[in-house]
Amino acid sequence: MKLLIDIGNTRVKIALFQGKDLFSTANISECSLKIIQNFVAGHDVSSAIISSVKEISGETSRVADYYDAIFLAENTLVPVKNLYRNVEELGADRLAAVVGAYFLYPKKKVVVFDAGTCLTIDFLNDEGEYIGGRISPGIDMRYKALHNFTDKLPLIQKKKTVPIIGDDTDSSIISGVQQGILAEVGSIISEYRSRNPDTIAVITGGDCFFFETEIKSGIFAQPDLVMIGLSEILDFNV
């Protein structure tokens, strides 16, 4: 069994892989040794990897020591060519998602969206080269920004149904935030496919199924894309 831990800005996701296959996965409140031991209970972990977008805490270090885990960092070997100019600044989750896409769609041009706290967009060419991407606020961050940086706009929660045009303040915010981010994603897919018609678009992250449902230009939701990438990176290093 391989243990994979992905520490994001708002959640921690853990998984066990058996070879190339996802065996089990869970979202947990924190990277706690006790919680992870309970998740792993009854299985022998032969190798482990930790990806984190946060500073490494003492408890995370305890987990790493206990399972002899490697940390995904700028000097970790990966099966793609990384052309990002400042490798040390690249989020580990972004790199893992790109490697996951490379495994699922070898020798393909892929646009990788990760819809979580931020919306990250990354580009992989058909030669296995990661060429860079974009970062913008995610859905919840956009809602919070409108509320926190104004005096009167309310804090809205994301909705399943989104109006094109709002007829009051709440629905106008919903339309602006969620139709706006949909337009952003759809525009990037259309623009990239106008240059590379065979481009595959794949999305992961907590809001991935919202985009898969709403985007009409062919996008595949893969909620475990980062974990798939971490599994491949771990295999590449052990």
Q: Residues 15, 22: contact at Cβ < 8 Å?
A: yes
Q: Is residue 21 annotated as a catalytic residue, yes or no?
A: no
DSSP code at position 87? G
Distance CA 82, CA 84 (A): 6
Distance CA 142, CA 208 (A): 16
Here the tokens at position 81 are 């060519």
Q: Residues 3, 47: contact at Cβ < 8 Å?
A: yes
Distances, alpha carbon 191 to alpha carbons 97, 121, 122, 183, in Å: 21, 13, 14, 12
Identify residue 11 by its one-letter amino acid code. Answer: R
Q: Residues 76, 233: contact at Cβ < 8 Å?
A: yes
Active-site residue among 6, 21, 93, 114? 93
Catalytically active residues, by annotation: 93
